[in-house]
Amino acid sequence: MSIIKSFSVGNGDMFYINHNTDNFTIIDCCYDDEDEKNKIFKEIKEKANQKGMRRFISTHPDNDHIKGLKELEETIGVWNFYCVKNKATKEEETDDFNKYCELRDGDKSFYLYKGCQRKWMNQSNEERSGAGLNCLWPVTSNEEFKVALQEAKEGKSPNNLSPIITYSVADGVKVMWMGDIETDFLDKVKNSIEFEEISILFAPHHGRKSGKISDDILKLLNPKMVIIGKAPSEYLNYYKGYNTITQNSAGEITLDCTGNKIHVYVSSTTYKVNFLKNENMSNKYGQYIGTLVL
């Protein structure tokens, strides 16, 4: 069993994976207010301290993906810092952005790129099994990616620095994150990415129209469920034709991945969908709304 949680943090992103191996992974950092921050950090600390290998994956250094990073590092610790190698700058530097740069350029960092291999990220040994994490993008020699790197270095949007990450379990769930990668950029580089079917897609750019995945890529991914992040509804694309959960309405989302089943829980007590199977699970991770059978 592994647990994937998507926090509902305003117009930002924050996830963790409590792996079915001796691994714990945080993806991005954000919170809406102090009470929420304290709750999130407390939960993460309790879960992470039960694991021997812990990592933080930063998709890109926009504030809605690094807010609270400095305090997270100070109160919990950032044990291994994964990001795309870059020299992004900001016209207005925050404490969290400065912490990002310190971690990015420090001895805790590991740089993500297509096909990268690392002990316990996706390699196992006698000490512990791997985490099931793999990187499909970036291809660092790609010319469009080089342009994105240069633009971020000049203080422009770092959205297209975002890696494409999958988490998978043998004969079970396969989940994809794309950070805030933008539609037009993804279309330019899609032929350099080896897309394959997945179980769950966390829609890029919080599900905004600016991150909408093109139909030809969606057909290759064929997600069984798309999770649309939190953003003003007028900016969202609702991925018509696909089974979706919308975080604006659902709140926190917890996925209990067991074998070929994903039991889905949300923090809203009224949210419902009609595409999940009811297996009458208890509400141990929030309000149980059904099970996705793969």
pLDDT at site 61: 98
Binned at pLDDT 50, 70 and 90, residue 220 comes out as very high
Q: How far apart are CA 164 and CA 193, in angstroms?
A: 9
Q: Does residue 202 register a pLDDT over 90?
A: yes
192 φ/ψ sector (left φ>0, alpha ψ -120 to 50, else beta):
alpha
Q: Across residues 173-201, what is the average pLDDT?
A: 98
Task: Choose the weakest-confidence range: 114-118, 128-132, 160-164, 235-239.
Answer: 235-239
pLDDT at site 11: 86
Q: Does residue 33 register a pLDDT over 90?
A: no
Task: State how far the alpha carbon of 196 is from the alpha carbons of 24, 137, 219, in Å.
Answer: 25, 13, 9
- Helix, strand, coil distribution of the chain in percent, nearest 5: 30, 25, 45
Q: Does residue 78 register a pLDDT over 90?
A: no
pLDDT at site 121: 98
Q: How far apart are CA 259 and CA 276, in angstroms?
A: 16
pLDDT at site 22: 97
pTM: 0.97
Which CATH number applies to 2-293: 3.60.15.10, 3.10.105.10, 2.30.29.30, 3.40.50.1820?
3.60.15.10
Share of the chain above pLDDT 90, in %: 93
